[in-house]
């Protein structure tokens, strides 16, 4: 049997409007682009290696900082596998492994989050933080950075760092003088000498990303962090919750390794982060929980959670979500009319939804098309409001179609919208095409009636600016050309901007003919 030392490289999504969100509402702030691992025997002698590039999801691109740090290129990851194919292949490679090690807790967190995003099961193998074991066995070391530890051990670092396999190999070298079995045995035991104020040391900790609401942070914690520290399988909540609004304790159970006690904490003021600390249910830990239990605060917390969870979208079916979206949009757009028309505003989002339904049967995408103009156009409607009412996936789709507030002019707003489309996935493109085709149909009707006066009505006297925008949109939406909606949009663009150009091109020839005949 063997150990495996693993390292991952991942892409980062800092903009919440571009953070991939699965249909189940799982946000993926870091997307794995490279897996590197070295398999060793129990004496830390190398046996085998694993290296694989992983393709990014449709429409997503490498972050500039990630490119600079890792030297991984778009062509590198294009040669890899999609994560739903790569993960099972890597899990198969892990079948004869006793334990996984990585330097620091981040690799495990990102790996579990990517599995949850794609609704994949984690391999039933314990995962340990080698940096934590090193710190316990070498308490006077100082800096625990991988390169610093290697240099202190006189390991000549001739490998390119931030390459997954190279970093995994370097981690294995740094572990050679550790007592690995002792580290594993003591990993789950709170160290009594480090207890402070009656609080035992957790066997593992994990934190969410920063969120604008506590509800969003809590949802990520329950989906991505609620995993067994020993085998990575999903835990099930059990028992009663005790504690305060800021810090609480609750038990959770693993089918294989039994019960854990989890301390949850909300961290931050401007943004909300949830931190989970995992404890074995020892007598010391149970005594600690009992001392910190605060029943009155517990009751207040229960009322607060019920209040925030009442409008949650989790209990809605996709069909119910669409029906609710239609009613919500009709209420919010009430008394609004379209620019330059007397038609009720709700006609436009309903038409956009009808167009979206010709490209997808996903009720959540169609619901997002109905709601696409509520953020920004309707008072009091924010992304957080949409997320609470309809779920994170719908909220992200709606927010993607919102114009950037930083745009100083109509021209900059259009340019910003086009730049966003370069990194969009298909669902986001469907929302955009549905919105733009509805607008284009309206413009074409007016164009047929009043000609170029139409562009003055829309505060854009320069027709060429409109032509440039519509032709750029046609190119940006090209991946949807299999749908009739795209063909209609391209046809309207040609009808408004193409035919006149052809007529202008024919005039010189006609003039020459008349001139010849006159001579």
pLDDT in the model for residue 298:
41
User: Quick one: which H or E segment has residue 202?
Assistant: none
| 305 or 22, higher pLDDT | 22
pLDDT in the model for residue 513:
43
Structure confidence by residue, pLDDT tens digits, 104-150: 888 988 898 899 889 898 888 889 999 989 988 888 777 788 888 88
pLDDT in the model for residue 139:
81
CB 250 within 8 A of CB 263: no
| 37 or 519, higher pLDDT | 37
What mean pLDDT comes out for the span 309-313?
A: 48
Per DSSP, the three-state class of 254 is strand
Contacts of 319 (CB under 8 A, 6+ apart): 363
Contacts of 363 (CB under 8 A, 6+ apart): 318, 319, 321, 322
pLDDT in the model for residue 330:
93
512: pLDDT confidence band, cut at 50, 70 and 90? very low
Please give the share of the chain, as a percent, with pLDDT higher than 90: 30
pLDDT at 204 over 70: yes
Measured CA to CA, the distance from residue 402 to residue 377 in angstroms comes to: 9
The pTM assigned to this predicted structure is 0.55
Structure confidence by residue, pLDDT tens digits, 358-381: 999 888 899 999 999 998 788 888
Going by C-alpha positions, the residue among 1, 188, 233, 229 that lies closest to residue 94 is 1
Structure confidence by residue, pLDDT tens digits, 420-429: 787 778 888 9
pLDDT at 383 over 80: yes
Q: What is the CATH number of domain 318-501?
A: 1.10.3210.10
- Among the listed ranges 21-25, 351-355, 382-386, 402-406, which one has the minimum average pLDDT value? 402-406
Per DSSP, the three-state class of 435 is helix
| 455 or 273, higher pLDDT | 273
Q: Topology of 1-187 in CATH?
A: Nucleotidyltransferase; domain 5 (3.30.420)
| 452 or 150, higher pLDDT | 150
pLDDT at 183 over 80: yes
Chain mean pLDDT for the chain: 81
Structure confidence by residue, pLDDT tens digits, 489-503: 999 999 888 754 444
> Residues of 361-387 as b/e, b for ≥16 C-beta within 10 angstroms?
ebbbbbbbbbbbbbbeebeebebbbbb
What mean pLDDT comes out for the span 188-207?
A: 62
pLDDT in the model for residue 515:
39
Rounded-to-10 torsion of CA 389, 392, 395, 400: 180
Per DSSP, the three-state class of 324 is helix
Q: Where are the domains of the chain?
A: 1-187, 190-310, 318-501
pLDDT at 437 over 80: yes
pLDDT in the model for residue 485:
94
Q: Is residue 395 packed enough to be buried (19+ CB in 10 Å), middle (13-18) or exposed (0-12)?
A: buried
pLDDT in the model for residue 156:
64
């Amino acid at each position: 049997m063997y150990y495996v030392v693993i390292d991952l490289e991942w892409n980062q999504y800092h903009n919440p409007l571009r953070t991939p969100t699965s249909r189940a509402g799982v946000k993926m702030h870091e997307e794995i682009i490279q897996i590197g691992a070295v398999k060793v025997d129990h004496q830390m002698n190398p046996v085998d290696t694993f290296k694989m590039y992983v393709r990014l999801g449709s429409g997503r691109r490498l972050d500039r900082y990630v490119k600079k740090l890792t030297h991984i290129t778009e062509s590198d990851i294009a040669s890899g596998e999609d994560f739903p194919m790569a993960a099972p292949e890597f899990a198969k490679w892990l079948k004869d492994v006793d334990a996984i090690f990585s330097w620091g807790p981040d690799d495990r967190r990102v790996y579990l989050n990517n599995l949850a995003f794609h609704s994949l099961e984690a391999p039933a193998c314990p995962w340990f933080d080698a940096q934590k074991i090193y710190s316990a066995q070498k308490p006077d070391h100082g800096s625990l950075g991988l390169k610093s530890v290697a240099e202190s051990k006189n390991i000549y670092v001739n490998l390119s760092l931030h390459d997954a396999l190279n970093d995994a190999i370097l981690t294995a070298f740094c572990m050679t003088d550790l007592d690995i079995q002792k580290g594993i045995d003591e990993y789950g035991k709170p160290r009594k000498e480090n207890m402070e104020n009656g609080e035992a040391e957790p066997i593992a900790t994990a934190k969410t990303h920063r969120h604008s609401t506590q509800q969003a942070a809590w949802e990520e914690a329950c989906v991505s962090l609620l995993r067994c520290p020993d085998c990575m399988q999903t835990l099930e909540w059990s028992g009663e919750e005790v504690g305060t609004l800021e810090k609480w304790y609750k038990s959770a159970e693993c089918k294989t390794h039994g019960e854990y006690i989890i301390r949850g904490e909300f961290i931050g003021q401007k943004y909300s982060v949830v931190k989970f600390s995992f404890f074995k249910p020892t007598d010391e830990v149970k005594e600690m929980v009992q001392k910190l239990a605060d029943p009155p605060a517990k009751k207040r917390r229960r009322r607060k959670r019920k209040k925030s969870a009442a409008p949650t979208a989790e209990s809605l079916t996709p069909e119910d979500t669409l029906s609710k979206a239609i009613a919500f949009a009709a209420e919010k757009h009430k008394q609004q009319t379209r620019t330059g028309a007397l038609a009720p505003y709700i006609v436009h989002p309903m038409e956009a939804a009808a167009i979206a339904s010709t490209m997808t049967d996903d009720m959540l995408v169609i619901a997002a098309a109905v709601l696409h103009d509520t953020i920004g156009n309707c008072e009091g409607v924010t992304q957080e409001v949409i997320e609470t009412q309809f779920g994170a996936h719908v909220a992200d789709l709606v927010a993607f179609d919102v114009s950037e507030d930083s745009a100083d002019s109509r021209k900059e707003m259009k340019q910003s919208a086009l730049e966003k489309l370069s990194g969009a996935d298909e669902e986001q493109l469907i929302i955009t095409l549905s919105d733009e085709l509805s607008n284009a149909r309206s413009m074409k009707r007016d164009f047929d009636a009043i000609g170029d006066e139409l562009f003055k009505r829309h505060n854009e006297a320069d027709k060429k600016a409109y032509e440039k925008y519509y032709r750029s949109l046609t190119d940006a939406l090209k991946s949807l050309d299999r749908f009739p909606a795209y063909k209609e949009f391209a046809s309207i663009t040609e009808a408004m901007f193409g035919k006149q150009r052809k007529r202008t091109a024919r005039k010189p020839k006609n003039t020459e003919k008349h001139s010849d005949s006159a001579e």
